[in-house]
Amino acid sequence: MKKIVLLLIATTLLACSSRETKTSPSEEGKIDSGKLKIALVLDGIGVHGFSGVGVLRILEKARIPLHLIVGNNMGALIGALYAESQNSFSVEWDASQLELSDYFSTSFFGGTSLAHASLEPFQRFIQKKIKRKKIEDLDVEFLSMTTNLRNGETFIFDKGDLNQAILASAAIPGFFNPQKMSGKILVTGSLTEGSGIRVARQKNADIIIALDTRTSLDFAPLNDQKDIIFQSHLISRNRELTKDLEEADIIIQPALQKIKFNDFSKKREMMIAGQNATVEIIEKLSELIENNK
């Protein structure tokens, strides 16, 4: 019965939110986690990353404290929004305004030319929605996962330019222009670290909650270069994510296989999918915290 009630809550919370609900939804404070450091790892290409909004909503409703947020791909944006506001309603309001044209050109998957999509529209969106400029100014410890193409090693943004950290994490090689910084050429962290779970452990997280956003491989017909390059990235990413997820204590698995990553009309469905999947693990997570604090 308890699980049924929670599922009903999950499917109705998003419908009840509005711009006026940006005050904190929890007046009772967080549950006592003792000295435990709890980390949330968010990932997801394109609209799949919006499932993280639903995850945050249920964790907030359950009063689960978050001491570290690790973001990769779209998860870097969702994670940064929450690290600044600590309010899932605010994150939903801001994230729901992101359209496909803010992410990349709507004509990018048409034709066969292999041009890089500019991240300038995405950059303008980030600058508009996130007020803090430095990672170290956020209210929750935040890491953005990227890969340095010059040496093939992971580069972790744990301080400095927040805007650039989010952009670099979103830059899929062959599709988006990489971010250049101090001699580094930076793209998404998926190439070397999956979503960042192992890095969260290295940052002394005691409990790691991870969002599983492994993607279906039936996205494209594989008729042109762009399809083939993107498919190759998905295969590599899924393999890294599978290894990375072995290090997580709690895995949240939203139903996203039937939603294509560039279908931004499905933002709300992805948020609800994240909520429903998080409801399924709340009891286990609460017990894990209680038994280890």
Query: Do β-strands 141-148 and 179-181 pair in parallel, antiparallel, or remain unpaired?
Result: unpaired
List 40's β-bridge partners, or say none.
69, 209
Mean pLDDT, rounded, for 140-156: 96
**Residue type present at position 229:** I
For residue 277 the two structure tokens come to 């999947």
Cα–Cα distance measured from residue 277 to residue 125, given in angstroms and rounded to the nearest whole number = 28
If you ran DSSP here, which 8-state letter would residue 265 be given? G
- Better-predicted residue by pLDDT, 9 or 289: 289
Q: What is the pLDDT of residue 175?
A: 80
Q: Read off the pTM.
A: 0.87
Question: Where would I find the H helices in 35-183?
Answer: 51-61, 74-85, 88-95, 100-103, 120-129, 162-170
> How far, in Å, CA of 127 to CA of 133, rounded?
9
Least confident range of 13-22, 109-118, 233-242: 13-22
Query: What is the tens place of the pLDDT at every residue in 173-201?
Result: 878 889 999 999 999 999 998 889 999 99
Q: Which helix (H) or strand (E) segment is 132 a member of?
A: none
Local structure of 149: helix, strand or coil: coil
pLDDT in tens, 78-118: 999 999 999 999 999 999 999 988 886 544 555 444 456 77
pLDDT at 219: 66
Contacts of 203 (CB under 8 A, 6+ apart): 39, 68, 141, 143
Phi-psi category of residue 204: left, alpha or beta, with phi > 0 → left and psi -120 to 50 → alpha: left
What integer pLDDT is reported at residue 177 of this predicted model?
84
**Span 39-86, pLDDT tens digits:** 999 999 999 999 999 999 999 999 999 999 999 999 999 999 999 999
Average pLDDT in the chain: 86
With a CB cutoff of 8 Å and minimum separation 6, the contacts of 119 are: 104, 167, 170, 171, 176, 177, 179
Residue 26 has pLDDT above 80, yes or no: no
| CA pair distance 251, 42, nearest whole angstrom | 11
